[in-house]
């Protein structure tokens, strides 16, 4: 059995995060004891991945309560801190979902240890639910695979993106546990290289064979019959089954369809956004030119150029074989998502 990756840990005084900006070169931890530090950690991708962002924000609400004076002004001060957390990343729906739940827990309370305790208990519950959802998604996904399978994934939808096991990588961990996994291909995932830096790191950590390739080489791998299935995560899933996920997911889905290879999205039901009818309604975060202009200290493009750096793209539901949630397999359609198989456990 694979141990969860120590993505985040509540220390009693705040949230301790594995600083993902520094992987794989060094394993450093970041102690967040105020909401500003945590918001900055989310914005700069020290913690990233839709479920992990949501959980970090849920613990952030605890920090918000601990650092806001109890009394009459509590609700307003607490609310402003949650607004700051909500402003960090615009696409991941889990962030808004977890913050909404914590706002409900705090209600009209005037603060103090009791509400802090309730918020903490709720954050722990969300964390445990995410871990259990990962295990269920892993089993449902692995049930679709044959022995000797070679899987391809994009970005990092692993332990580092969640409470510790992942979404797409939960399937990979489960397949490895069952002894049916031959190779994982990991797109390096420009510009921030979450595939090369994070997915490869956590798979090596777990002793799972991984091959890293440029994003642009995945289509050639698929065309050559070197991949049996593609598994990716999701940042938001619209009501019709369109999926927003890391930039590069959409061309990967096109290449998989062309090669006749099934393309699966793995995401907990908290990633579903029934209020957004289709992918067109999903706001796509634009990130800074600096991520494309310099690497480390080296300039890799002329300063006079312009840059286009969206964090996500939208994959239409038609390209997706199934969405694997902790409850069942879903398929998209013009009329909305429907279940194609039920979890038996």
Check if the beta carbon of residue 86 is closer than 8 Å to that of residue 96.
Answer: yes
Q: Which of 227, 239, 243, 255 is close enough to bind its own copies by CB under 8 A? A: 255
Interaction of residue 214 with its own copies, rule CB under 8 A = yes
| Number of residues that this document lists for the chain | 345
- 199 vs 276 by CB, closer to its own copies: 199
Span interacting with its own copies, options 29-37, 62-70, 288-296, 322-330, rule CB under 8 A: 288-296
Interaction of residue 310 with its own copies, rule CB under 8 A = yes
Sign of CA dihedral 339, 311, 157, 43: negative
Interaction of residue 297 with its own copies, rule CB under 8 A = yes
Rounded to the nearest whole angstrom, what is the least distance from the CB of residue 318 to its own copies in the complex? 11
Give the pairing type, strands 298-299 and 294-295. Answer: antiparallel
Rounded to the nearest whole angstrom, what is the least distance from the CB of residue 292 to its own copies in the complex? 6
Rounded to the nearest whole angstrom, what is the least distance from the CB of residue 286 to its own copies in the complex? 11
Rounded to the nearest whole angstrom, what is the least distance from the CB of residue 186 to its own copies in the complex? 8
**DSSP of 63-118, one letter per residue?**
HHHHTS--STTHHHHHHHHHHHHHTS-SS-HHHHHHHHHHHHHHTT---SHHHHHH
Which positions from 216 to 235 touch its own copies by CB under 8 A, shown as an x/- string? xxxxxx-x------------
Q: How far apart are CA 329 and CA 275, in angstroms?
A: 20
Q: How far apart are CA 289 and CA 310, in angstroms?
A: 10
Check if the beta carbon of residue 218 is closer than 8 Å to that of residue 224.
Answer: no
Check if the beta carbon of residue 326 is closer than 8 Å to that of residue 136.
Answer: yes
Span interacting with its own copies, options 44-52, 72-80, 305-313, 322-330, rule CB under 8 A: 305-313
Residues that bind its own copies (CB under 8 A): 24-25, 185-191, 193, 196-197, 200-201, 203-204, 209-221, 223, 247-248, 250-251, 254-255, 258, 292, 295-302, 304-310, 313-314
């Amino acid at each position: 059995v694979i141990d969860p990756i120590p993505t985040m840990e509540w220390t009693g005084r705040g949230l301790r995060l594995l600083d993902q900006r520094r992987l794989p070169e060094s394993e450093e931890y970041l102690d967040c004891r105020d909401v500003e530090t945590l918001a900055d950690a989310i914005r700069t991708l020290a913690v990233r991945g839709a479920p992990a962002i949501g959980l970090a924000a849920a613990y952030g609400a605890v920090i918000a309560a601990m650092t806001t004076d109890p009394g009459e002004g509590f609700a307003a001060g607490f609310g402003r801190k949650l607004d700051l957390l909500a402003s960090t990343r615009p696409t991941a729906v889990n962030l808004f979902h977890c913050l909404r739940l914590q706002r409900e827990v705090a209600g009209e309370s005037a603060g103090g240890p009791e509400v802090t305790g309730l918020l903490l208990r709720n954050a722990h519950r969300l964390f445990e639910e995410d871990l259990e959802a990962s295990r269920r998604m892993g089993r449902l996904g692995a049930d679709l695979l044959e022995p000797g399978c070679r899987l391809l994934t994009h970005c990092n939808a692993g332990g580092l993106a969640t409470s510790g096991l992942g979404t797409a990588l939960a399937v990979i961990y489960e397949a490895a546990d069952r002894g049916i996994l031959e190779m994982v291909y990991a797109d390096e995932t420009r510009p921030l290289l979450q595939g090369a830096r994070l997915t490869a790191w956590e798979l090596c950590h777990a002793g799972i064979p991984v091959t890293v390739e440029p994003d642009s080489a995945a289509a050639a791998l698929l065309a050559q019959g070197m991949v049996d299935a593609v598994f990716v995560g999701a940042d938001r899933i619209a009501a019709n089954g369109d999926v927003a996920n890391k930039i590069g997911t959409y061309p990967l889905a096109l290449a998989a369809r062309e090669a006749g290879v099934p393309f699966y999205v793995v995401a907990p039901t908290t990633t579903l956004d029934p209020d957004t009818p289709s992918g067109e309604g999903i706001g796509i975060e634009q990130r800074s030119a600096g991520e494309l202009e310099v690497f480390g200290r080296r300039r890799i493009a002329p300063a006079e150029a312009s840059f286009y750096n969206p964090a996500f793209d939208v994959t239409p539901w038609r390209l997706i074989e199934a969405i694997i949630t902790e409850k069942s397999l879903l398929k998209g359609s013009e009329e909305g998502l429907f279940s194609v198989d039920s979890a038996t456990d």
